[in-house]
Structure 1
Amino acid sequence: MNAMKLSNDHDQVKRLLCFYGDDFTGSTDVLEALFQAGLKTILFLEPPTLEMLREQFRNLDCYGVAGVGRSLSPEDMERELRPLLTTMKKAGAAVVHYKICSTFDSSPEIGSIGKAMEIGRDLFGGRYVPLLVGVPYLRRYTLFGNHFAAAGERIHRLDRHPTMSQHPVTPMVEADLREHLQKQTKMQTSLFDIIALEGSDKEVHGKIEQLIETEQPEVILFDVLDESRLEKAGRLIWQEANDGEGLFVVGSSGVEYALNACWKADGILPPTERKVVAVESVDRLLVVSGSCSPVTEKQIQRALEAGFIGIRVPMNELIQPELAQEAQLRLQQEVRSALENGQSVVLYTASGPQDQTIALIRETLAAQGLKTEDSGRLFGQALGRLTRELVAETGLSRILIAGGDTSGYITRELGIYALACKAALEPGGPLCRAYSTEPQFDGLELVLKGGQVGGENFFDKVRVGTTL
């Protein structure tokens, strides 16, 4: 689909949608959703310049910026989000989406979704801020305001989810998203529940108008159970967008799947099935994991069973200045030797959440006067430098990075400034093409995997690829 042009003094391009991802790996969820709809989309790792949007990436239907809002305080969110969202508003997109994780992890102090809503509401106005979190494609559901998410084969209420209920920074102790949000903002939130989404489009539209008239909400949370109701929610959001000068929306990649369904029904997009592209295999794959989630733990185990070489990163040495250089050279030589022998490698900082080295690393950090939260920066920088050397030395064409902080630092070390989706491998873990300022890394294929993403054999699937 060709982007729609706006005739104005700035010769800008009218786009369907712009988005800001509040964490690094989660931003690729939206990239995948828009790719599957056939929309030309680029995910920038830093806010793009106007020249980039006018020249190198002129014919985009949508674009996004991968951010770190989920790890920021409300004060830092104000500094980061307001100028960026202002720029997106000037781009003239019909919808500007603040993309959050489909498990809604946030708190009043860190990654406040309520704070993001307040900023967006102030900048964009509008009758209300749509909030849609469920994504059936990712097995995330909202019913009567309560949120549910998959873990393995089972679906758990969010406050009983084995991972999210024990999140180290933002544990989810409340499944009712309205109650959770009430601790972050004074904005009034109303629910458009699963029953309200029943009926014809005309009937559903009448129900939301009645809700707006009687409750005058500033935020409307949409229940999500299945694809048909998701499309109805998308139609309500799209109708609201058409009535204004750019609609600010908050939610997971379910927002894009909802809008995609509506756009196809309205003929804005061709009525095709989700885009499926074959992925060729590679002879060797480097996996760099800074994630300690139970999902990643199982993936590491399965990869080793499939023939990957597992190499533990000696992080306790790498964070000690007197030991770091020798440890890095030793590790680099070990990994390079395996790759040059044609073997695939899993390079990991921890085997899982119960890994005993986690406590040891915390003790080492404390001895240096550092906090536990400093580990992401230290680990990321060390792994970034290592990955850069390995890719340059061995000529790898594809890598997989697990963990949000790790992904951010490694892509920065490789000079990567933008990503385009090449193929959907598993929900939430697409294969991307990198744009880099450095020729040796430009065109590199990579997968950025969040902690909860992928089946147990995901690492081998990235190596082997897929067929049509």
Structure 2
Amino acid sequence: MDIFFVADDFTGGVDVLLQAARYGQPATMFLSEQAFLAADRSELRACTGVATTFRSSAPTEVEDGLFRILEHAARTEPRVVQYKICSTADSSPTRGSVRPPFEQFLQRGAGRVALLVGQPGLRRYTAFAHHFANDRGTVYRLDRQPTMANHPSTPMHEADLRLHFAEQIGQDVGSITLEDMRQDETLSAAWDRETNAGRRLVVLDVVRTEDLATHGLVLTHDHPAYVIGSGGATLAVAAGLGWQEGSMHHAQAEASAGPVLVVAGSCSELTAAQIDHVADLVEWTTLTWDPEQPAAAVAAEASRLLDRGQHVLVHSSGATSAADVHRADLVDRVPRGLADIVRSALGRFARLVIAGGDTSGDVLTRLSATNLTTLAVLDRDTCLCLVHGISEDRGLEVVLKGGQIGSVDFFVRAARGEVDDADGDE
């Protein structure tokens, strides 16, 4: 196996699948620890991973499951082990912390752990360890980027990734800077500098796509290489492994063969704008479900409309504010209700779109899905997949959309299989 990854949320894991697809590499992602541990070796691919909900979990809730996953994966002798986090680095000491993977990588013999979250394709950049992220066409320092500075669960108050992650792991974090990368000699000396200083977690600067390959060639000298990072980290190690972009880079999804069902639990402003976009389209019907109420009536109406050939979008009105996100009852109620709506409509739609990183994982888990395999590249930020385990046939077409991904007409494009060239977020 070339790359084994643990994704801290479901849509983040799909980003890894997308990068593998662009290189024409077979990839699969198991949707639970149990599904991965039970998988036959023939089900594993060059790029294999496990999706989790670790991004929304406390460190103590992550440790045991992560240990079992990594222990099982070690038997396949992967060349690279990646803990996949978002390119916006949103995390905290109590939620989505990188401490568990960092410590377990060290326990598995890692001499160093690279932290690479820059992803130029998504307009996410790291310069002198400070991180920058796009928001609707403007690149901001991370602690001033409107979405991340006001994130409902992990607001970003520090753009210096050394300080941000040092708070999580309880020790100094190093940095390989743009100046260090000027030539091979200075890059090698920089790694020696960080190693000799005892800094085992090292932030890597990334401003250009070419920077990813530079880092990847160095990182893959380790066997295995241990990396914490975004889809940019996947691209880096892919280059280091010698992967070549394959024919799937230009392959696009076809239009859905029938009605599309969208269920949205994301509370991001971008998702709200995407919902508004389809509200007045004749071929779409938007249904609002209040999580304070049973989902049965909305589920029945969604099924009726799908039977008529309508595309249907169901969004949860009760999870649209920062205050609501922290309500424990809604955290459970929203994905449970959305999963019930999907389950009741099975067989009536040809393609499923789930909006929201945490929502995607929770909904598919409640539907007893086992794994995803890549079907086609949908656009620059997402891919169309087959989800297995929900139905008895070859699989159900699904698109998992992070809350901040895509242009305002994303749902329309997902139904039509059209290219979306907008800058987006994970």
TM-score (normalised: structure 1):
0.84
Structure 1 position 434 matched with structure 2 position 367: no
Partner of 1:27: 13
Distance in 2 (CA, whole Å) between partners of 1:276 and 1:254 is 19
Partner of 2:339: 384
User: Is the CA contact (8 Å cut-off) linking 1:40 and 1:61 kept in structure 2?
Assistant: yes
Q: CA RMSD in A?
A: 2.3
Structure 1 position 278 matched with structure 2 position 252: yes
Partner of 1:313: 289
Partner of 1:412: 365
- The amino acid that maps onto 1:348 is H
Distance in 2 (CA, whole Å) between partners of 1:95 and 1:445 is 29
Report SS of the residue matched to 1:31. helix
User: Is the CA contact (8 Å cut-off) linking 2:36 and 2:50 kept in structure 1?
Assistant: no
The correspondence of residues 126-145 of structure 1 with structure 2, limited to 5 A, is: 126-145=110-129
- Alpha-carbon distance change, 193 to 175 in structure 1, aligned in 2, over 3 angstroms: same
- The amino acid that maps onto 1:120 is F
- Alpha-carbon distance change, 351 to 464 in structure 1, aligned in 2, over 3 angstroms: farther
The offset of 1:281, in angstroms, is: 1.1
Distance in 2 (CA, whole Å) between partners of 1:21 and 1:459 is 24
The offset of 1:169, in angstroms, is: 1.2
Q: Which of 212, 227, 230 lines up with 1:230 in the alignment?
A: 212
Structure 1 position 303 matched with structure 2 position 278: yes
Partner of 2:225: 247
Could you tell me which runs of 5 or more consecutive residues in structure 2 were left unpaired when the two chains were aligned. Answer: 421-426
The offset of 1:373, in angstroms, is: 2.6
Structure 1 position 117 matched with structure 2 position 102: yes
Partner of 2:70: 85
Distance in 1 (CA, whole Å) between partners of 2:382 and 2:244 is 24
- The amino acid that maps onto 2:210 is S
Partner of 1:464: 416
- Alpha-carbon distance change, 397 to 216 in structure 1, aligned in 2, over 3 angstroms: same
Q: Residue deviations 1:177-235, cap 9 Å, x none? A: 11111211133321101121123xx3355333442454232111100101111110111
Aligned residue-pair number? 417
Partner of 2:423: none
Report SS of the residue matched to 2:175. strand
Could you tell me which runs of 5 or more consecutive residues in structure 1 were left unpaired when the two chains were aligned. Answer: 1-14, 319-327, 363-370
Partner of 2:23: 37
Percent identity, please.
32
The structure having more radius of gyration, on CA atoms, is 1
Distance in 1 (CA, whole Å) between partners of 2:57 and 2:243 is 36
Distance in 2 (CA, whole Å) between partners of 1:175 and 1:402 is 27
Structure 1 position 338 matched with structure 2 position 305: yes
Q: Which of 47, 65, 68 lines up with 2:53 in the alignment?
A: 68
Report SS of the residue matched to 1:445. strand
Distance in 2 (CA, whole Å) between partners of 1:295 and 1:458 is 10
Moved over 4 A (4+): 48-51, 271-274, 351-354
Report SS of the residue matched to 2:110. coil
Q: Which has the higher contact order (CA 8 A, sep 6+)?
A: 2
User: Is the CA contact (8 Å cut-off) linking 1:312 and 1:349 kept in structure 2?
Assistant: yes
Distance in 2 (CA, whole Å) between partners of 1:72 and 1:253 is 21
Partner of 1:102: 87
Q: Which of 393, 402, 409 lines up with 1:450 in the alignment?
A: 402
User: Is the CA contact (8 Å cut-off) linking 2:387 and 2:397 kept in structure 1?
Assistant: yes
Partner of 1:54: 41
- The amino acid that maps onto 1:375 is L
